[in-house]
Structure 1
Amino acid sequence: MTSSDARPSGCTPFEEELVNAMKNYADSADAPAFDAPGIVRRTRRRRTVGIAAVTAALVVAGASTALASMSGGDGVRGSVASSGAARSGKDTVVVVGKPGDSFTIDFAGLDLVFAKQLLLKSRLELGTVGRADPEGCKPGSVIAADPHSPALVPVGGTVNLTLCSR
């Protein structure tokens, strides 16, 4: 046989040896073992732990919001002027929300700019701004709000303020 003669397999001896070596290697290698049920269990466990963590965070956030609203909080609470000249009474306190889910804002002694910020933060609209001249008030401070406590102002409602004109 010469190199020009055709081989019955159509391959050279080197090619035949190479093919046989690859077949032996492929037949001897073990297939990897996958623990499919274990992978599914780990994935479900991780998902459950993640959902539990998110739920716990939401519960904590809800509890802190509930505590803040029970204490009259929500961070929306005006303060009385330190001069002591501002009257703090129910005519400057606005109750916002709905029955059972409300918070209060005390506008007594606040200036108009800060009162507007509190209204905006509380999602309320500023109505008319009136002026009055009672005894012993700080000029430009809020001396009355309408509607005031015990009336309930819904979110998105309008509040009218009266300022000291002295």
Structure 2
Amino acid sequence: MSSPDSPPSGCASFEQELVNAMNDFVNTTRTPHFDTATIARGARRKRATAIAGIATALVVAGAGTALAVGAVGGGSDTSRPAAAAGTVADSTTLLVRTSDGSTAKEQLAGATSARVRATLVHFGLTPTFTRVQKADCQKPEDAVVSLSPHAPTVVHAGDTVLVTTCYR
């Protein structure tokens, strides 16, 4: 049996050379230097570039969707002058993707809750009603004042539409 300080027989010179080589490496190799500020700045730049790219893609996709909806148009709405189209008309305009792929446009401003329910059910939508008190509530008293979602968002069969009607 040998002592812990003595090398095993037959391997003394190789082991000693290996230990000497490792000690030389440890004593002569420079410690690596990392510039953490530059690394963090690069990561932030990459993240900002990725976010900007995604935002640009979403804007382009949204513009394409708006153009497609405008190009498809159609539906059961009759033409009306541009001056009559205001924010009230936009919040009560419903765009529905029909089963044949076209888009139907329904103007529901001032319609009764019964008519709106029938229209939404006809398109396979689920209506949810809420009422708000308004001093300038139109006749009939349960007239539609807003829809959610409304144009330019297109709804599909199975979607739920929140209908807000008014009372005095």
Same fold (TM over 0.5): no
More helix by share: 2
Larger radius of gyration: 1
TM-score tier, shorter chain, comes to 0.3 to 0.5
